[in-house]
Amino acid sequence: MSIRSTAYSQEQDKLLCRIYMEISQDPITGIYQSSDNFWSRVEEEYNNSKIQNWEVRSKRFVQSRIQTIEKATRKMHTCIRQIENRHISGA
């Protein structure tokens, strides 16, 4: 039986997104790192930067959370584009 970790708070999500963006946009190593190395760096930086009472997260959990955030972001972006592309009568 697996042990479930606690849910991410908004503060944890913000920290994780900031770290993900910083590492993915690093001009020195950004494109020259393997996927495994990338996620190891995200995991390490998250666990080093987190508030002390936050749960330590594994690479798998960090990667899964980012994928969940990306999915929600894509869905929101699609909704925004649909609204922007509407032809309002009389405008």
Task: Enumerate the domain spans of the chain.
Answer: 10-84
Give the pLDDT of residue 4. Answer: 54
Mean pLDDT by 10 residues, the chain (91 residues): 66 94 81 85 94 91 93 94 81 59
Give the pLDDT of residue 87. Answer: 75
Cβ atoms within 10 Å, residue 23? 19
Give the pLDDT of residue 34. Answer: 85
Give the pLDDT of residue 1. Answer: 42
Q: Decide: residue 46, CB within 10 A, 0-12 exposed, 13-18 middle, 19+ buried.
A: buried
Cβ atoms within 10 Å, residue 41? 19
